[in-house]
Amino acid sequence: MTNWNVWKQAFDQVKLREEGDDIEIDGCRRFDLDVKFPNYEIFWRLHVVPATNRPGNNLRFREFIDFVVVKMGMTSHGIFCDLVTAQEYLVRVRKDDYGNRYQNCLQSLRAGGDAMQKFDDLQRNIIQDLLAKRLGRSIIVWTKTQWQCNWKNQYDKLAAYRNYLTHTNSPQVMLVGQANGEEIPYVPHEDHFNSTAVSRGTSRSKGIRQIPPSGILSKPSASGRMTQLSPGSTTSTLRF
C-alpha cells in the first residue's frame, strides 16, 4: 500500500462543493459555507474522504472502517447540516421576515446552537476521548488554558441562550411602539443567559431559566444585528 503522503496529494484536490453529499454541496453553493468555515473542509478532506470510496460518486464508508471514524464523520456532517439550517432561516430574518411567532429567528438561533454543541461533542467526547483511547495516545484539540481564556465564556453564554430558546420553544417578545405607529419586537438579550443565570433557573435539570430577568433587551435591526439597549448606550452584539 502506498504511503499517506501519496494519498494526501490526491485528497488535497477533492473539493467539498464538488464531492460532498447533496446537503454539503447545497450549503457551499448557496451560502459559501466552505469559505465561511474552511476548517470543516480540511477536516472532511483528511478524515471523512479517506474513510469513504471517494474520489468518485460513492459516498459510502469503506468496509471495515473503525466505528470511531464513522462517528467522527457523522457528527461533523450533523454540524454542517445545522449550519445550513441556520443559514436558511437567517436569510429570511435579514429580509425582516421573522416568521409566525418569530420562528425564523428562533430556528436560526436553535440550529446554530445545535451546531455548536455538536462541535463540543466532537472535540471533547469523540476526538479527545474515543479516538484517543482507540489510538492509545493523548489528543489535545486545545489546552485547558486555551479553552478557559478563548472559548469557555462565549460558549457557556450561547449554549445557555440556545437551551432557553429550545426548551421554551418561543422567544419572549415585547412589542415596543414607535412614533410612526410601527411595533418593533424586542427579545431578552443573550447576556442574561450565562451559566450563573442558568444555574439559578427554576428547572435546573433542563438547564433553562423559566423567567428571564427584566432590564437589558435587544432587537433585530435592519442590518441584521441584535442591538443591546441599555440606559444611555447602544452596543452591537449578536449577529443575525
Q: What are the extents of the domains in the chain?
A: 1-141, 171-240
pLDDT at position 231 is 32
What is the value of pTM for the model shown?
0.72
pLDDT at position 203 is 36
pLDDT at position 74 is 94
The pLDDT of residue 34 is above 80: yes
The pLDDT of residue 32 is above 90: yes
pLDDT at position 37 is 95
Q: In what order do the strands lie in the sheet with 225-230?
A: 174-177, 183-188, 217-220, 225-230, 233-239
Name the CA dihedral angle for 44, 160, 92, 227, rounded to a multiple of 10 degrees: -120
Task: Give residue 152's Cα distance to chain centre.
Answer: 15
Query: Can you count the helices (H) and strands (E) in the chain?
Result: 11, 5
Cell (9 digits) for 236: 452591537
Closest CA to 157 of 225, 229, 237: 237
Where does residue 32 fall: left (phi above 0), alpha (psi -120 to 50 degrees), or beta otherwise? left
pLDDT at position 170 is 62
pLDDT at position 83 is 96
pLDDT at position 171 is 61
Residues 6+ apart with CB under 8 A from 202: 209, 210, 211
The pLDDT of residue 95 is above 80: yes
Calculate what percentage of the chain has a pLDDT beyond 90: 35
Q: Average the pLDDT over 75-85 and give the result.
A: 96
Q: Average the pLDDT over 174-202 and give the result.
A: 64
